[in-house]
């Protein structure tokens, strides 16, 4: 009987954590800057972010590293919902703007809002690219290219680790 009781408790906890509200509350506890509703620009030092973020997320989002192609959790992800910044909670992309690309990273043809992201020239690795940053927390998300589908012709090539997905609920 006690064995079944523990299974029921674990199931309840698991289902509770699946709700977006519960997820946000967990993130807010570990990251006081995380919000899916705030739009204020954050001015947080990398020293502070390093204390809050996991090492892999910090390396990509704050140091501009890139996760290996074809390894990210959202590369072949096809559920309907919204992709948020994993660092601050800013809404970035709707799943309806996601498309299958062969580049190895999740790709989108437009952000949720024009001011959800901003851009910076990137000359790393002896290339000239345009870096995509979260407009709220300045975290590196990936790069944008001019080889995407209509209607924009853009390919926002994003690192999965910098994204957090919230499915649509019916």
User: Which conformational region is residue 164 in: left (phi greater than 0), alpha (psi within -120 to 50 degrees), or beta?
Assistant: beta
* Burial of residue 155 (number of CB atoms within 10 Å: 0-12, 13-18, 19+): buried
Active site residue 157: yes
- For the chain, the 3-state helix, strand and coil shares in percent, each to the nearest 5, are 30, 25, 45
- Residue 81: half-sphere exposure toward Cβ, Cα within 13 Å: 16
Of 88, 134, 137, 157, catalytic: 157
Active site members: 157
């Amino acid at each position: 009987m006690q064995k079944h009781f523990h299974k029921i408790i674990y199931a309840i906890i698991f289902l509770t954590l699946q709700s977006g509200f519960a997820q946000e509350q967990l993130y807010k506890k570990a990251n006081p800057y995380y919000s899916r509703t705030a739009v204020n620009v954050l001015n947080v030092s990398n020293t502070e972010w390093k204390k809050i973020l996991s090492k892999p997320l910090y390396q990509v989002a704050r140091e501009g590293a890139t996760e290996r192609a074809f390894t990210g959790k959202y590369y072949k992800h096809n559920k309907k919902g919204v992709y948020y910044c994993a660092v601050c909670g800013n809404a970035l992309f709707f799943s309806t703007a996601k498309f299958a690309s062969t580049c190895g990273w999740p790709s989108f043809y437009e952000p949720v809002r024009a001011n959800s992201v901003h851009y910076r020239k990137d000359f790393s690795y002896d290339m000239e690219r345009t870096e995509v940053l979260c407009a709220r927390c300045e975290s590196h998300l990936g790069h944008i290219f001019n080889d995407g589908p209509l209607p924009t012709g853009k390919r926002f090539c994003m690192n999965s680790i910098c994204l957090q997905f919230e499915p649509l609920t019916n």
